[in-house]
Every structure is written in C-alpha cells, then in structure tokens.
Structure 1
Amino acid sequence: MKTFKKLLFGFLLISLLVIATASTWLYSKVDSALPILDGKKTVFGLKKSAIIERDEQGIATIKAQNRNDIAVALGFVHAQERFFQMDLLRRNSAGELASLFGPLALDYDKSIRRHRFRDRAKVIVAQLPKKQHELIKAYTRGVNQGLKYLNSSPFEYLLLQQEPVQWSEEDSILTIFSMYIDLQYHDGRRERTLGLMKAVLSGDVYAFLDPKGSIWDAAIDNSHYPQAPMPLNAWPSASSFNAIPKDNRYIKATALADSNENKYQGDHLPGSNSWAVSGALSTTGSAIIANDMHLGIRVPNTWFRASFEYPQSQTDNSKAVGSNTVIEQIKVTGATLPGTPNMVIGSNGNIAWGFTNSYGDYSDVILLTTNADNSQYLTPSGFQDFILHKQVIAIKDQKAQEITVTDTIWGPVIGKNHQGQLLAYRWVAHDKEAINFTATELEQAKTVERAFDIAARTGIPSQNMLIADNNGDIGWTIMGPIPNKKGNIGETPQSWDSGENSWQGYLTPEQYPQIKNPENQRLWTANSRVVGGDMVEKLGNGGYALGARSQQIRNNLLIQEKFDEQALLKIGLDDEAVFLQRWQQFILETVLTKKVLAQEENFVQVKNLLENTDELRASVDSVAYRLVRNFRINLRDNVFFELKSSLHNIDKAFNFKAIRHQIEVPLWQLINEQPENYMMLGENSWQDVFTKALELTVADMSINQPLTAATWGQQNSSAIKHPLSSALPLLDHWLDMPTKALAGDSYMPRVQGNAFGASERMVVSPGYEENGIFHMPTSQAGHPWSPYYGMGHSDWEHGVPSPFLPGKTYYKLTLLSY
C-alpha cells in the first residue's frame, strides 16, 4: 500500500511538473507574440527613420519623411498587431482557408476558387502605376519585417499548429478582393433569384414583388418611383409551383419554429450610414461629415486607427515663398484596413470623407447557349470552347484536392438555372480596373472637386462617397469602377451571344454622377437609392436597401438649422423605430380585434404593452419594440412561406434574403388590402395569419419567462467574438468582448445586431479635427494580453463621444533604416 502511495505521489508530482512546464512554455510563446511598443528596431526598406507613437488606446501616429516610409511603418504595425486578421482576409478571397481550418472550409474555398482571385491579383500588381507599385512593395516589406520581429508567431497559429506565411504584394490586392466578396454578390444570387421569379411568375406579379419605389424613398435629388399595383387575377398558381398543401400545416409550423433562432437576427446587410452638412449650417464654417460603416463585428475589429504625418513630395504642389520652396506637411487621421497601405476614411485638415456601400449593379448573370454536349458556348463570333483552369486546394491534415474551374470570355460559369441552362458571371471584380491604390491621393486632396476626380479613378468595391471640405463645400459621388453597359441588361439574367448586350469598358471621370452643395446644404446616404433619372440609370440596381434609414437621417437633418459634431453624432445614435410605428398601429387596430381579444386572453397584455408605449424605440429595456419587430418578421415569413418554398423547390439557388428589403413594400400592401386572389396564403383567412404570427411571437418571447421580462436588450445582446473562441471555449473569456445589451436595430440610424453594426463611428469637420469624434468596437489590439485590448469598446457600446485624434503618447518605437 505504501509503495502504491509513493508511486501515486510520484506520478502526480511528475504530472504537475509536466503541466507547469507546458504552461510556462505556452505562456512564453503567447507572451512573445506581443507587439513591440517601445525602443528602436532596424527595418529593411526604409529610406529614413520612421517613428511610431501610440496613445493609451494603441492608436498609432506614424511619422516619416516620405509616403513610402509611412507604408513600411504601417505594414510593420499591422503585422505586429493584426497579422492573423490579414491572413484570413487574403485566404478568404484566394479560397485558401482549408489549409488553415481543414475540411470545414473546403466547400467555401471551392465556391471562391471559380473567381481565381490570386491569379487576378498577380495581374493587377503587374500593371499598377510605378508609384503605386512602389507603395505596395514598401508596405509588403514592412509587413514581413513586423512579422519577423515578433519573438513568436501570433498566438492563433500556435493554437492551429500552423506557421504564418509571409506577405506578398498580391496579398494586399486579395485583401481588397475580400471586401468585394463582403460588399457585393460573388455568386449572382440576387439576379438569379429575380430571374427565377420573372420566369415563373406573371408580369404583374413580378412587378408587384420587385417594386421600383416606396414611401420610404429618400434620394438626395428628391426623385421618386412608384410601387406596383396589386395583381388583379388569382396569383400565383399553386399547381404550377408544386406548393405545400394547405392541409399540411405541421410541415409549415415546424419549419417556421426551426428557423426562429436565425430569423430574429434582423435584416442586416453590409452597408453604412453617412451624412454631411455644409459650412453654411455648421458652427465651424467648415463642412462636417458623419460616417458609420456597417459590417459584421468580431475580435479584432475590421479597422485599425492611425494618423500619418509626412512632408508632401516636392513634385506635388510645393509652394514657392521668395527664393525658398515651402514643403507642406501632410497630416491625415482616420481608419486603415490591415492588409492595405491606404487611409480608408478620415480627414486631412482640408477634406474629410466617408463611405456607404453603393448597391449599384456591378455584375451580371449571363445565360449561355451551348452545343449538345455543353463543350462549347455561343458568342457574338460563334461557338467557342470553354476555358478550363486547374486549381489545387490545400487542406490541413489531408491530401490536397484538385478542381477544375470553367471560364468563358465573360467570366466563370457559376451554375445552371431552373431549366438547366448554364450561367456565366460578369463582375467588376474580375477586371484589372477593380483594384488600385489611387485612393491614397485623398491624403493630399484639398477640395470636393479634387476628391471627385480621385474617386472616379479609384479601384475599390464601388461606394457612395461623401466629402466635406474646409471651404464649407459638401459633395456626393461614386468611388470605384462603374461599368458602361450596352443593351437590355437589367436585374435578371440575359443572353449575350448576339452581341446586343455587353459591357463597353467603364465610365470615364467626366461621366460619373456627382452632386455638390445641394440647395438644402445637406447630404445623406444609407445604402438605398441615392439618385434617380440618368444618374441611377448609370448605376443600376444591385439590391438597394429600403430607404427607412436614409429617410430618418434626412428628416433629422431637415429639422435642425445649425450643427456641430455632437449634433451629427446624435443622429447616428437615433434608435427611434419610425419604420415600425405603422406596424405597432397595425397590431392594435387590425390584429387585436374585439373578437380576437375575446378568444386570446394573453393578447390583452400585448394590447396594454403597445398602448402604453408612447414612443417606440429599440432601447434595451423595451418589450414593445421586440414584440412589434418580431411580429413583423413572423408575419412576413408566414405570408411568403409557401411562395418561398415553392420557388426554392424549383431552383435551390433561390435566395429570399437577397430580396428581403424590397419585400416590405408588397407585404404591407397585402396585409392591408387582404386580397382574396392571393393563392399561397397558407391559412383559412388573413385574420388567421395575423393571429398565428402574434401567437408565435408571444410564445417565443415567453419561453421560461413572463412576457414583460422579454426586453429588446435581452435579444439584442452583443456576441462579438474572436474567430477561434468558439473552438476554444476555455479561452473565450480572454478573447471575446463581454456580452452587453445593445440599443439599435436594422431600420434606423443606430444599426446594431448581436455581431453586426457600426464598425466605426466618425464625425469630423476638416480643419477642426480636435473636436472630432471616433468610436470603434473591440480595440486596436489583436493580442488579448495587449495593454489596450478592449480599450475604447465601452465608448462604442454606450455612444460616448471619444476623440477623433490620437491622445497623449504612451509608447514610442523608432524604426531605423539600414
């Protein structure tokens, strides 16, 4: 027995020693991956020394003697703070995630490889202008030097048992391609969805479900388009769709219940809000701009805050004073995207600029006419062979897979339609015009007109761009390539084999739509249609958002005559549910009839909640908001359930989410007019549809709690996580941001979901940056042991004004040239 105890004691002692040794080794590895904040380091690629100062939150001020040295230093900082994030961005667009994560990412990689973005990135790098090529080369050198100076690989690679791969010049192009994937459709899903609807529905029904306008339109040129009338005949034909039988209610109820977790996440789409007032309305005399870009939010955040200080090149507008040449000092502050050398949004003292996603039509699905064995396809010059490309996908812990990508003169083959016809995809992202670094010229621009010129020559996913300058001028234009389309090219797939339909290159800068200093001295964009007439004809419709956000921002701007930065921030934090007010009245007046209240006793509580809510807001303590919001979603899903299911049965590519915003218009018409000729209602009467949607809403909100405890904040609690935390639950406390009830939602200025929303909030008046405001979720840091990990996140959560400019220097690192 004593021998056994001694053996057991020895075993435990050895085990503890092994655990302690492993823990010490692990701690050392993770700790060694922290960025260098102070001291001096010699860096290859610098022409002269560069200084990196960080404030308490890690916001970097980079000082150098030329722009390329700024790029070296920025690359160094990005690699030290965010290399794993950068790696995910390049792998995301290259279709190389499976080499990190294994088979889980294989299907995604296959879907992306059809675009051959790595091959395209190499072509783009090779044709960049010399100055831009030197910039990206300098940035790449900085990234690899920053990675080298880490004493250990970023901790994520330790957890994945991988080694980081050095950065290359084309990887910065791939980073921007990832933004194309986020901000535009890479698979043509919206056009394919509309194409199916147009093919199987009658013309009046299709027009009704694809409205061109609504009461929510808020274009800055005050243009309006009508919504289509209700179809007069019975629609659609249930027999032609193989619809779900009306007596099979169990299938429908089960499907609706199973989708509860996802359906309540909201109608979020990558986009943004931006608004500006001219100097005539500002307290500074300079124009003021506000911008918050809406993206998925995770740890670390998409953006990295920085300020650049460098002398203007002597070849660029240097001023002669007497016999001396005065070289102007450039100082530009804002947000950068790790993986690229640009200042994405910001202010340089003369102009400030921000973006919202344009949602113009920057792609087209093409119907291919093929020969009998599908080996050739018809073009204006006759039948041609398909172009085949071999792609090898590396898979972690498995043998690599080889796939074949099929291409045409217009773009890759992306599948078949419901009739088995092959489809090709024409997309801006496939052309050399898609990406360049012309946007860096904004750092030295001084006027709205100069920014207009830069915007029209820039290669990024096309954005609504608002500009404010210190002369008091404001302007809107599109930044990014706009295809010059010829023929009958609209929102649905078309044949291009006759030559009548085509792209004729891209619009020239002189052809770009622009608006400067409108009569009301105000501008706003929020992903909905911005302009009408000839200007919108140039842009097309790639899936504009409903105009509810735009309209609420516009109305908030119009009720005030003088603005400072705080006033513009207040507009961005507005969580009033203007969009849902009519839905609140609909429940009270149409759903909660005396007959229904007599039959459903628990609905009396619903009535009291809604009647006692004076102002419907997406506040964290509001039960009424959650109830109205979720009722609308349940009712929408119920009304269109059989139509969606039938269309999906015809073609699995049908994607209701791609058209969900436009569906609000016909939905509201249907529930108010309650036509008898809608043949896919799925219930015995419209009142049954309303009652069941409310029953489901109340039941979902009352799970394990009284209805009065089901607040909006309970449902809309943040879930801002590191990409690896779900696989490492023991580390989520250190990696993820704390869970917090958040105000805001989809159809209001304060856009906010569990892990979606304002990836930054910026308010700034050029020349008065010291009064500017900047919020950013998570923090600058990518390493959980960083002294500023999570700093600034609370200001973003609560909407507390925090400074636009970096603060007092806490850390200083000098990079020396060889």
Structure 2
Amino acid sequence: MKNIKPFAIALTLILLFFLATGAAWLYSRVDSALPQLEGKATLFGLNATVNIERDEFGIATIKAENRNDAAMALGFVHSQERFFQMDLLRRNSAGELSSLFGEMALDYDKKIRVHRFRERARTIVNSLGNHELELLKAYTRGVNQGLERLGANPFEYLLLQQTPVLWQEEDTVLSVFSMYLDLQYSAGERELSLDIMRKALPADLFAFLTPKGSKWDAAIDGSQFSQSPMPANFPKTITSDGRTVSISKREPKFVGSNNWSVSGKLSTTGSAIVANDMHLGIRVPNTWYRASLIYSSNDKTVKITGATLPGTPNVVVGSNGSIAWGFTNSYGDWSDVIVLETNEDKSQYLTPDGFKNFTSHSQMIAIKDQESIEIQTQDTIWGPVIGENSDGKLLAYRWVAHDINAVNLAHVQLESATNVDQAFNIAAQSGIPAQNMMVADIHGDIGWTIMGPIPRKRGEIDELPKDWSTGEFGWDGYLTPDEYPNVKSPADGRLWTANSRIVGGEMYKKIGNGGYALGARGQQIKQRLFEKEQFSEKDLLAIALDTEAIYLKRWQKLVQEKVLTEQMLSQKPLWQEAKQYLTKDTLSANVESVGYRIVKNFKTEVKRRVFSQLDSYLTNYDANFSFKTVRNPLEVSLWKLVEMQPEGFLTQENTWLTLFNDALDTVLEDMTQDQPLAKATWGQENAAAINHPLSSAIPIFGKYLNMPAEPLAGDGFMPRVDGGGFGASERMIVSPGHEESGIFHMPTSQAGHPWSPYFGKGHNDWVNGNPSPFLPGKTKYKLTLLSY
C-alpha cells in the first residue's frame, strides 16, 4: 500500500505535466495565428514600400505607391485576418466543402458541381485583360504571403485537423460566384414553383396568388401594376385537403438590402448623400472587411474608403471623395429554366438545329477521411441539366453566372470615377451578381442603375419554364452600356430601392421579375424621405433605424376590431391582458414591445393556416414546389382573403373568425410558455444569433467566438431589418467630399481571431444605432511592408 501511493502521485504528476504541455502547445498555436499588426515584413513582388495602419477598431488604411501594391497589401491583411472565411467562399462555389467537413457536405457539393464553377473561374481568369490580371496576381501573392507569415495556421484548421491550401487567381472568381449563389437562384427554384402552381391550379386562382403589383408598390418612376381579382370559386380538391402542413411558423428571411439617396439641393453638405445597408446572413467574422486604400494613379492620389470582400481586391461599397455608392440585390430575371425535348432514351435533346448529344463531364469530389467519389454531370448548348419536372422531362438552366462576363474586375474603376455618369458606364461593364447601384456625387447628382450583366432575351420568356428547341426563345448576348436602365437626379431629389420592383415600362422589360420583395420597406423609406426637405447623415441614419410597423398596422386593427370582441374577452383572461399591448397608437418592432410580437406572430400564424392546405396540395403535386420562393406575392393575396373572407376557401369545418381566434390563441400560448405575457417581448424572440460557423463544435469555449445574444430591434417589413443571424451586414451613410461626417456600422468586428485586440469592437454601435465614423480613426498599429 505504501508503494502504491508514491506511484499514484508520480502518475498524477506525469499526467498533469502532459496536460500542461498540451495546453501550452495549444495556446501557442492559437496565439501564433494572430495577424501581424506592427513592425516590418518583406514581401516578394512589391514595387515599393507599403504602410498598413490600423485604428483601435482594426480598420486598415493601406498607403501604397500604386494600385497593384495596394492590392497585394489588401490580400496580405485579408488572409491574415480572414483566410478561413475566404476558404469557405471558394469551396462553397467550387463544390469542395466535403474535403474540409467530410460526408456531411457531400450532397451540397454534388448539387453545386453541376455548375462547374472552378472550371468557369479558370476560363474567366484566362480571359482577363493585362491590367485586371496583374491586379489579381498581385492580390493573390499578398494572400499567400500573408498566410505564410502567420506563426501558425488559422485556428479553425487546428480544430478541423486540416491544412489550408494556398490561394489561386481563380479563387477570387470563385468568391464572387459564392455571392451569385447567395443572391440568386442556382437551380430555377422560383420558376419551377410558379410552373407547378400554373399546372395545378385554375388560371384565375394562379393569377390571384401571383399578383404583379399591389398598393405597396414604391417604384421610383411611380409606375403601378394591378392586382388580379379574386376568383369566384375555389377548387375543393385544394381547400379541403388534410395533408401535413409544411409552412414555418417563422417568417423566412429575405436576402436583400435597402439604399436611398438625396441630391445636393436637399443635403446639409451640399454634396449628394447615399445610405446603404446590405441584408445578409450574419456570422463571425462579418462578410465585409473595412479598409481605406490610398495610392497613386495617373499622377493623382486616389483615396477610397469602404467595405471590401475578403477574397477580392476591390472596395465593394464606399466613397472616393467624388462619388459614393451602395448596393441592394436586384431581383430581376437573371436566369431561365428550359424544358428539354429529348429522344426516347434521353441521350439527345432537341435544338433549333436538330437533336444534339449531351456534353458529359466527370468530376471527382474529395471527401475528408474517405475515398474520393466520381460524379457525372451533363450540359446543353444553353446550360447544365439540373433535374427533371413531374412530367419526366429533363430541365436545363440558362444563368448569367455561367457566362464569361459573369465576373470581372471592372468594378475597380469606380475608385477613380468622378461623377454619376461615369459610375453608370462602369456599372454596365462590371461582372458581379446584378445589383441596384445607388450612386451620389460631389456635384450633388444622384443616380440608380443596374450593376452587373443584363441578358438580352428573345421571345416572351416571362417567369415560367419554356421549350427553347424551336428558336422562338433564347438569349442574344447582353445589353450594351447605352441600353442599360438608369434614373439620374429626379426633380424631387430623392431615390430609393429595397429589393422590390424599381421601375416600370421599357426599363422593367429589360430587367424582368425574378421574385421581387413586397414594396412595404421601399414605400416606408420613400415616405420618410418626403417628410423632410433637408437631410444630414444622421437624418438618413434615423431612416435606416426606423422600426415602425406601418405594414402591420392593418393587422393590428384586424385583431382589435374583429378578434378581441367583448364576448371573447369575457371568456379569455389572457386576451384581456393582451389587449392592453394592442391598443397603442404606434406599433414598432422595438425590443421591449409585447404588442408588436403579438401582431407579427398573429399575421404569420394566419398566413400559415390560410395557405397550409395549398402548400400541402402543391408539394404533393410536385416535390419541386417551394413555398418560400413564391411567398412574397402571397402577402398581397393573403390580405385580400382576410379582408374579403370568401366562402369556400377554407375547409367546411372552419370559418374565418374561428381561424383568427385559433391563431391568436396559438400565438399567446407560445408566448406565455413558462413566463408571463409581460416578459414575452419582441427582443426576447428577436435575439441576436451571430455565431462563428465552428463555435458549436467547441465545448465550453465555443461561445466566446460569438457575438452576445442580446435582443435586437427591427424586422422584415420595415427599414431596419435585423433578426437573429440575419440583417444589416453593414450600414453606410456618406456624402462624397464629406467623409469625415459619414457613418459606418458592422455587426461584428474586423477580426476573425477571438484573441485579437479589436475582436467584437463596433458591434455595440451596430446594435444601438450609434453613429460610428465612416473613416478610420487615429493610428494605433502600424505595419510596414518592404519590397525585396
């Protein structure tokens, strides 16, 4: 016994030694992955010395002799701060996530591989002009040297037990392809759903459920599209179906953005002002990386400040002192589903020139800890085969993202543009996912146009799949710059967009409809812009933070007048308590509001109950149907049904009043689970969920990678769009020539490393709406890059 005790002590000490050694090694590896902020570093390929200055928030100011050196330095800081984020972007569009995450990503990779984006990216790189190619090469050299200069691989690779792969020029193109996947449909989901509705429903019901316009339209040219009339009868096969409900109790988030501008005659600066907030899924680190580039070009000094996308060498949105610009996603029609006519064994498909063989492609997918697998994809003259419809016909996909002009670096030219007209011309030559570009210049002019390729379509292709084999339908290249839709400096001095339809007439015909948002957000922004005759940057920030629920006021009135009757209130004490929160004049998505949460969830629950049987019927009719892709026009039809309460739409066992009552009961029961109604605020439901993609895989310490889960104001039908892990990925308000009074917010910080001295900085200003500066502040860290 006496001999065992010393042995146990010795064993314990040895174990503690190994644990301490392991912990020290782990600490050193994580600590060594921090970016270099100060001192000197020598880079191969630099033409001259470059200084990188960071303020206390980590915002980088890069001072270089020329644009290529600035690109190399930007690549250096991107990779040191954000390489794992960049890696996910390129793997996402290349269909190569399985090599990092294993079999769990395999189905996604198979789906993406039909687009052959890596092959297309190589083709695009080989087609770039010398200037763009040299810029891309400089950026790539900077990325790889930044990665190599880290003392250890980024900490995410330590967790995944992987080694990062060096950056290639084509990976920058793949990063932009990832934005295509995020912002546009990659497999014709909306067109397929509309086609299923067209086939499965009577024509008048299909038209009613897919209206072209509504009272919420807020086009900048004042155009209005009418809503289809309500059908006289509703088919019993649809309205009495009892199958499973698949519509979510939570409103799905709408990828998009807001932007607006006021001309110099309305601004306090004398220059025009642009405001922009891009709504995306938010995580740690943020999509964007703030930077200011200062370099010489044609004997002039260029200073461009704004947000960059790690993986690319340009400033995405920002100001150069002469112009400022921002983006919202354009939901124009940038793709088409083609129904193929094939021979009997589907080995050939019909074209205007007769039957042709499919082009087959073999691709290998590497899978972590497993053998690679080989898959086969097929192409047509129009695009890849993406599946088949319920009739057994193969489908092909024509998409802007598949063409050589989908991605280029023309965007960089905005850094030297001096007025709205020059910006318009650059926008029409740029290869990015089509955006509503809002631009303001120092002369006081403002403008809107589409930035990105616009196809020239042949025939009335509209929004439904078509057979292109006769030659009646097709794409005939792309619009030239002088054909692009644009609006410059309207007489009232105001412009706005919010993912809804922007224009009508001939301009609308060129853009088409790819699934616009309801116009409620845009209309509210328009209303705020016409409430004043002069605006400062802080005035425009107030619009960005507007949480009044104008769209939901009619739903509040419905509950007050039709549901909370004296009879029902006498029977339901909880309803009596709810009434006090529903009688306030102003309904806003504030964090402390109980009333907003009741009204919003009541509207959502009514929508779920009204359309659940329709959704079930269509899903069973064809599994390709997706309620999410067609939900926006259904908001218009929903209110018409609620307002008119037609007989025959609901099941015989139900009435409209019963539906409303049951919906309110469900909402209040959900809100009061384990708590009183008074504590069931909107902020409780709308708590931030801004997380690192790997945080859930790290026990105990993973939570320290995330932003705080605090309550957020805002929602989807108002200018301030914030909710959970979705919302304003940036807020920017700037007047060119007056950048010192500009405003910029990001939901997370510059840092990708949790031990960075500025990790999380700036987040509180984003949450609370504090007007944090657009320009970088006083230098706190300075790194000098030297040439060989």
**Shorter chain as normaliser: what TM range?**
over 0.9
Corresponding residue number in structure 2 for 1:263: 249
* CA distance in 1: counterparts of 2:633 and 2:781, whole angstroms: 50
2:372 and 2:59 map into 1 onto residues whose CA distance is 41
Superposition map of 1:768-807 within 5 A: 768-807=738-777
- Secondary structure of 1:560's counterpart equals coil
Name the SS of the counterpart of 2:324 in structure 1: strand
Structure 1 CA distance for aligned equivalents of residues 334 and 359 of structure 2: 23
Partner amino acid for 1:271?
G
Q: Find 1:488's aligned residue among 436, 448, 460.
A: 460
Equivalence map 1:288-299=2 (5 Å): 288-299=273-284
Matched, 1:354 2:351: no
Question: 1:215-270: CA deviations, max 9, x gaps?
Answer: 1100100110111110012x2341xx69633xxxxx75xx57xx7xx632x34211
For residues 2 and 526 of structure 1, the distance between their equivalents in structure 2, rounded to whole angstroms, comes to 79
Alignment of 1:435-474 (within 5 A): 435-474=407-446
Please, which runs of 5 or more residues in structure 2 have no aligned partner? none
Q: What is the alpha-carbon root mean square deviation over aligned residues? A: 1.2
- How far does the alpha carbon of each residue in 1:788-814 deviate from its partner, in whole angstroms, 9 at most, with x for none? 111111111101000000001111111
User: Structure 1 stretch 786-795 or stretch 590-599: which is displaced more?
Assistant: 590-599
Q: 2 CA distance for matches of 1:285 and 1:689?
A: 55
**TM superposition shift of 1:646:** 1.0
Select 2:724's aligned residue among 754, 778, 781.
754
Is 1:244 the equivalent of 2:241? Answer: yes
Q: Distance in 2 between matches of 1:571 and 1:328?
A: 36
Q: What's the counterpart of residue 282 of structure 1?
A: 267
Aligned to 1:10: 10
Tell me the secondary structure at the aligned position of residue 383 of structure 1.
strand
Contact conserved, 1:128 with 1:436, CA < 8 A, in 2? Answer: yes
1:688 to 653, 658, 668: 658
Report what 1:626 is aligned to.
597
Distance in 1 of aligned mates of 2:754 and 2:191:
42
Report Cα offsets for 1:392-425 as digits up to 9, x if no partner: 1111111111111111111111111122211111
* Residues 1:649 and 2:620 aligned together: yes
Match of 1:110 in 2: 110
Confirm or deny: 8 A CA contact 1:639 1:681 kept in the other structure. no
Closer, same or farther: CA 468–153 of 1 in aligned 2, 3 Å = same
C-alpha separation in 2, matches of 1:665 and 1:584: 17
Aligned residue in 1 for 2:295: 310
Partner of 1:535: 507
Deviation at 1:681? 4.2
1:198-219, CA deviations, whole angstroms, 9 ceiling, x for partnerless residues?
1111111111010000111001
Counterpart position of 1:69: 69
Q: Counterpart in 2 of 1:321? A: none
Deviation at 1:532, TM superposition (A): 0.6
Q: Is the 8 A contact 2:307 2:315 kept in 1?
A: yes
Whether the 8 Å contact between 2:200 and 2:621 is mirrored in structure 1 is no
- CA distance, structure 2, for counterparts of residue 201 and residue 729 of structure 1: 51
Whether the aligned pair in 2 keeps the contact of 1:232 and 1:677 (CA below 8 Å) is no
| Structure 1 residue 5 displacement after superposition | 2.2
Distance (Å, rounded) in 2 between the aligned partners of 1:803 and 1:488: 48
Equivalent AA in structure 2 for residue 191 of structure 1:
E
Task: Tell me what 1:318 maps to.
Answer: none
Q: Which residue of the other structure, out of 694, 706, 711, is the alignment partner of 1:741?
A: 711
Q: 1:348 to 1:681 in 2, by over 3 A?
A: farther
What is the correspondence of 1:559-570 to structure 2 with a 5 Å cutoff? Answer: 559-570=531-542
Shift of the 4–236 alpha-carbon distance from structure 1 to 2, 3 Å rule, reads farther
Q: Where does structure 1 lack aligned partners over 5 or more consecutive residues?
A: 246-250, 314-326
Match in the other structure for 1:728: 698
- Contact between 2:240 and 2:651, CA under 8 Å: does it hold in 1? no
Query: Alignment partner for residue 603 of structure 1, among 567, 571, 575?
Result: 575
Q: Are 2:667 and 1:673 aligned? A: no
Match of 1:93 in 2: 93
Matches of 1:95 and 1:289 in 2, distance apart?
A: 37
Equivalent position of 1:577 in the other structure: 549
Name the CA distance, whole Å, in 2 between partners of 1:682 and 1:329. Answer: 73
1:19 maps onto 2:16 in alignment: no
Equivalent residues in 2 for 1:218-237 (5 A)? 218-233=218-233, 235-237=234-236
Letter in 2 for 1:780: Q
1:704 Cα deviation after fit: 0.6
1:300 aligned onto 2:271: no
2: CA distance between counterparts of 1:42 and 1:604?
Answer: 71
Give the Cα separation in 2 of the matches to 1:666 and 1:101.
43
Task: Kindly state the Cα deviation for residue 8 of structure 1 after the two structures are TM-superposed.
Answer: 2.1
Structure 1: distance between partners of 2:145 and 2:721: 38
Structure 1 residue 659 corresponds to structure 2 residue 658: no
Residues 283 and 725 of structure 2 are in contact (CA less than 8 Å); yes or no, is this contact kept in structure 1? yes
Distance 1:661 1:681 in 2: 24
**Superposition deviation, residue 159 in structure 1:** 0.5
Match of 1:815 among 777, 785, 788: 785
C-alpha contact 1:642 1:682 (8 A) present in aligned 2: no
The residue type paired with residue 241 of structure 2 is I
Give the distance between the partners of 1:744 and 1:294, measured in 2 at CA.
Answer: 12
- Matched ranges for 1:383-462 at <5 A: 383-462=355-434
Matches of 1:811 and 1:663 in 2, distance apart? 53
Bigger mean CA deviation after superposition, 592-601 or 330-339: 592-601
- Cα distance, 1:599 vs structure 2: 4.3
Structure 2 partner of 1:54? 54
Q: Deviations over 1:483-536 (max 9, x none)?
A: 100112011111101000000000010110010011110000000001011101
Q: Which moved more, 1:31-40 or 1:600-609?
A: 600-609
Deviation for aligned residue 1:598: 4.2
Question: Deviations for 1:146-186, whole angstroms, at most 9, x for unmatched residues?
Answer: 01101100000011000000000000000000000000011
Q: 1:243·1:643 contact (CA, 8 Å) conserved in 2?
A: no
**Quick one: distance in 2 between partners of 1:619 and 1:12?**
55
Tell me the amino acid that sits aligned with residue 731 of structure 1.
F
Q: Secondary structure at the match of 2:475?
A: strand
Give the secondary structure class of the aligned counterpart of 1:494.
coil
1:498 to 445, 467, 470: 470
Query: Amino acid of the residue matched to residue 736 of structure 2?
Result: P
Cross-structure match for 1:175: 175
Is residue 240–residue 652 contact of structure 2 (8 Å, CA) maintained in 1?
no
Letter of the 1:244 counterpart: D
CA gap of 1:400–1:641, structure 2 versus 1, over 3 A, is same
Name the SS of the counterpart of 2:124 in structure 1: helix
Question: Aligned residues, how many?
Answer: 788
Shift in Å, 1:614: 2.4
Residue in 2 aligned with 1:636?
A: 607
Aligned mates of 2:548, 2:47 — CA distance in 1: 53
Shift of 1:606: 2.2
Residue pair 1:208, 1:229 contacting (<8 A) in 2 also: yes
- With over 3 angstroms needed to count, the CA separation of the structure-2 counterparts of 1:535 and 1:307, relative to structure 1, is same
Q: Secondary structure at the match of 1:204?
A: helix
Identity fraction in percent: 61
Alignment check: 8 A CA contact 1:243 1:646 kept: no
Provide the residue aligned with 1:248 in structure 2. Answer: none
For 1:454 and 1:243, the matched residues in 2 are separated by 55
Superposed displacement of residue 107, structure 1: 0.6
State how far apart, in whole Å, the 2-side matches of 1:696 and 1:420 are: 41
Cα distance, 1:461 vs structure 2:
0.1
- Provide, for residues 281-337 of structure 1, a one-character-per-residue CA deviation record: whole Å limited to 9, x for no partner: 011110001000000000000000000001113xxxxxxxxxxxxx22110100000
Given candidates 316, 326, 331, the residue that maps to 1:344 is 316
Return the alpha-carbon distance in structure 2 between the equivalents of residues 434 and 491 of structure 1: 21
Instruction: Give the CA deviation at 1:466.
Output: 0.5
Given the alignment, which residue of 529, 539, 547 partners 2:519? Answer: 547
Deviation, 1:683, is 4.3
C-alpha distance in 1 between matches for 2:97 and 2:29: 24
**TM-score normalised by L of structure 1:** 0.95
